[in-house]
A and B are shown apart, each in its own frame.
Chain A
């Protein structure tokens, strides 16, 4: 089954984020009040691991699973979309304490209320699709 490796990666990711408590509203509040190093340590270590890993992939010209050279997609150029979009997401992240990954993960922990956040997030994505041509990017 072609999707099995992705499903297993997802299980791993879900377990790690739950046990790291990155899915906890409390941890996000604490982070935005600089009252704990926990979340900063997580993001910092993930970044450190990521930077070194990607550099190794590039320098050693590692081939991916399909045997093609690894190519990391570059982000589109722009400024306002990143600053404004990022700030709007930040408002939501600090309000309900979840980014998109944890919204799904928290469904698995049996939090029914998170379904409302998911519906809101789908609506928000849909509204962006409708108005995006009118926004500065």
Chain B
């Protein structure tokens, strides 16, 4: 049963993500996760401050239902479909992370050095999570999509703007991973 409880193979995972996008297309919708952030802002009344949020969020209820399902899916996969054998990353990566003071996964999805409750309570730890979120929210809305909207649906439909966006994802990602993370996590 390792094929269910361990890491799912990339080919199976990728195929099923592609199917998710196709199923939503068949339902007459567009696959995209980041637009829910805009919908949530509208629900909270942001339309009073910017026309960007003045739309009938009820038309996006279907997408919020996908989000609610995704949260439940995360819960089910984590609680019932995992045996702690996953996240077998490259030993070179583990060695690199150790230098940054980030512990090896040992089956965990996320490092405590960034996501533990203790880290969250430090000013630096809190700031990293908040700034990361700000960049994600601002960047995805500016670019009009994220990994699902551009890298999967947009590129699948052979859209040039999505290719530019994905190149952008990698410019930012490479800059962060290679230059900024080592500065942020430099151990003295």
Contacts and interface: CB of A to CB of B under 8 A. Distances in A.
Contacts of B61: 3
A136 to B, nearest CB: 10
Contacts, number: 522
Contacts of A125: 34, 37-38, 41, 137-138, 140-141
Contact of A128 (B7, B141, B157, B184): B141
B20 A75 contact: no
Contacts of A122: 37, 40-41, 44, 133, 137
B181 A114 contact: no
Contacts of B114: 25, 96-97, 113
A135 B142 contact: yes
B99 interface: no
Interface of A: 2-33, 35-39, 41-51, 53-54, 57, 62, 64-66, 68, 70, 72-79, 81-101, 103-114, 116-130, 132, 135
Q: Which secondary structure dominates where chain B touches chain A?
A: helix
B98 to A, nearest CB: 13
Interface string B1-24: 000100110110111111111111
A27 B12 CA distance: 16
A95 B173 CA distance: 8
A119 B41 CA distance: 11
Contacts of A30: 89-90, 93
A43 B169 CA distance: 13
Contacts of A23: 74, 109
Contact of B70 (A96, A101, A114): A101
Interface string B35-63: 01110110010100110110000000111
Given A117-B136, A119-B130, A120-B130, A111 B41 contact: no
Contact of A99 (B66, B115, B136, B174): B136
Nearest to B117: A112
9 contacts: A16-B16, A16-B73, A30-B90, A82-B164, A94-B175, A95-B181, A96-B136, A124-B138, A130-B49
Contacts of A96: 114, 128-129, 132-133, 136
Interface string B133-152: 11111111111111110111
A79 to B, nearest CB: 6
B14 A7 contact: no
A117 B68 CA distance: 17
